[in-house]
């Protein structure tokens, strides 16, 4: 398994379907070892969720979107939020990805919780956004939030076929 370079990412963005589409500023977002995802929406959870042994009994929390102000910003109090990214990811069956928060967020007392982007996944993902800073945090629409690091697998997988396939497209 190997990590894709910025050059590899750009090459795969030129394919059909592109590795990533819907980006805001390609030159800013392609990194030496990944791709920065940008903020589309912020929402608060309105209901409890549930995870069980059977996926058929899983319940995802209902969300209520927050509204950006006149400067496309939102002031967040300490707590947890769900964010949606601008970008749509199209992972081939031989590439998976892991998301990590940008270091500037961590230095402000903010973290992003992500799961694995499985090979074969296509969609506009969501992540957990946690504001730990007791003074809060201001975030702007289209800000670079999470860096995706892509890994080429040693072989092709069967590909993701879960309920989030094609989400938010």
Q: What is the CATH number of the domain that holds 16?
A: 2.70.40.10
Residue 98, pLDDT > 90, answer yes
pLDDT value of residue 56: 83
Residue numbers of the domain that contains 58 = 2-152
169 within some domain:
no
In a domain, 55, yes or no: yes
Neighbours of 38 (CB within 10 A): 21
Among 131, 105, 94, 136, which residue's Cα sits nearest to residue 36? 105
Q: What is the mean pLDDT of residues 83-108?
A: 98
The predicted model scores a pTM of 0.95
Residue 114 placed within a domain: yes
Q: Is residue 110 part of a domain?
A: yes
- Structural domains counted in the chain: 1
3-state class (DSSP) for residue 13: helix
pLDDT at res. 33: 95
Q: Is residue 162 part of a domain?
A: no
Residue 46 per-residue DSSP state: -
Q: Would residue 157 count as lying in a domain? A: no
Ranges of beta strands (E only) in 63-125 are 63-65, 73-76, 79-85, 88-90, 95-101, 110-113, 122-123
- Domain assignment present for residue 14? The answer is yes
Residue 167 lies in a domain: no
């Amino acid at each position: 398994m190997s990590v894709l370079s910025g050059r590899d990412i750009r090459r795969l963005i030129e394919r059909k379907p592109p590795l990533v589409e819907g980006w805001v500023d390609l030159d800013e977002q392609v990194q030496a070892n990944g791709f920065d995802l940008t903020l589309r929406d912020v929402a608060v959870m309105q209901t409890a969720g549930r995870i069980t042994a059977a996926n058929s009994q899983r319940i995802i929390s209902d969300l209520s979107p927050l509204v950006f102000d006149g400067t496309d910003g939102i002031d967040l109090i300490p707590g947890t939020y769900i964010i949606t990214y601008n970008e749509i990811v199209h992972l081939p069956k031989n590439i998976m990805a892991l998301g990590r928060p940008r270091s500037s967020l961590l230095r402000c007392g903010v973290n992003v919780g992500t799961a694995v982007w499985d090979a074969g996944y296509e969609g506009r993902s969501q992540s957990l956004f946690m504001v730990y800073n007791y003074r809060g945090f201001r975030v702007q629409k289209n800000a670079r939030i999470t860096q995706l690091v892509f890994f080429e697998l040693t072989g092709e997988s069967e590909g993701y076929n879960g309920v989030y396939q094609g989400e938010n497209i």
